[in-house]
């Protein structure tokens, strides 16, 4: 039977038409690429206006968590409607805005632009490797989900604590852990799409976007701490 009309069942709960599976993957990649535009615009606006400069400590944490979880809830509610894509793009603009404070700090280094480009290149490299692995790995990775969730939860709790502690060593440890966990999450989320476990491209894009933004932010934090050059 032709591959694009064949029903695929990998043996662990996914059974989906191959044509639909490829369509979800293709739409996810397009929307993921599109989502980077509002992210860049949000980051540029935040750096240019300094609007997030005062959002330190508890205030920044409340604004970030409230905004992020509010948007994620709205995306899940609208993912099957015409409003889903605009809401997702609004979320990516918000994330760019929240990221602008760290970007502005890194740009304060003499080699700031180089560090940002290195973090971007590193994140793109991680995505390329995970996308390649997701297409060649045949085994079921669904069991990774619960462990990755526990790891992400631990990173979030550690990050919240470190907002108030302000430990540089703590930030480095959290960043290293986040790079590992969210790189693995990237593989897990991509594999779910490839195997037909995720059939909504907006949900798929949201998951991958969160993986990518966490890897990028963590890489940028590490590079800023370890490689930032003062004037």
Please tell me the predicted confidence (pLDDT) of residue 10: 39
Going from N- to C-terminal start, the domains of the chain cover 12-227
Q: What percent of the chain is predicted at pLDDT more than 90? A: 57
DSSP 152-190: HHHHHHHHHHHHHH--HHHHHHHHHHHHHHHHHHHHHHH
Instruction: Count other C-beta atoms under 10 Å from residue 44's C-beta.
Output: 14
Q: Tokens 């709790």 correspond to what residue?
A: 157
**pLDDT above 90 for 138:** no
Please tell me the predicted confidence (pLDDT) of residue 231: 65
CA distance 134 to 132: 5
Give the predicted TM-score (pTM) of the model. 0.87
C-alpha gyration radius of the chain = 18
């Amino acid at each position: 039977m032709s591959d694009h009309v064949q029903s695929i069942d990998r043996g662990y709960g996914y059974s989906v038409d191959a044509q639909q599976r490829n369509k979800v993957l293709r739409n996810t990649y397009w929307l993921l690429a599109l989502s980077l535009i509002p992210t860049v615009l949000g980051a540029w606006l935040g750096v240019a206006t300094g609007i997030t400069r005062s959002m330190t400590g508890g205030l920044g944490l409340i604004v970030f968590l409230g905004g992020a979880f509010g948007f994620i809830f709205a995306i899940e509610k609208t993912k099957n409607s015409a409003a889903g894509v605009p809401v997702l793009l609004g979320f990516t603009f918000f994330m760019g805005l929240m990221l602008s404070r760290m970007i502005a700090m890194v740009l304060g280094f003499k080699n700031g632009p180089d560090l940002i480009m290195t973090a971007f290149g590193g994140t793109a490299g991680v995505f390329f490797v995970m996308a390649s692995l997701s297409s060649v790995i045949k085994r079921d990775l669904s069991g990774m989900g619960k462990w990755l969730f526990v790891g992400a939860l631990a990173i979030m709790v550690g990050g919240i604590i470190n907002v108030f502690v302000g430990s540089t060593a703590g930030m480095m440890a959290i960043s290293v852990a986040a790079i590992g966990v969210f790189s693995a999450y990237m593989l897990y989320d991509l594999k779910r799409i490839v195997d037909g476990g995720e059939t909504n491209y907006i949900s798929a894009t949201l998951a991958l976007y969160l993986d990518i933004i966490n890897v990028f932010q963590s890489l940028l934090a590490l590079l800023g701490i370890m490689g930032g050059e003062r004037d």
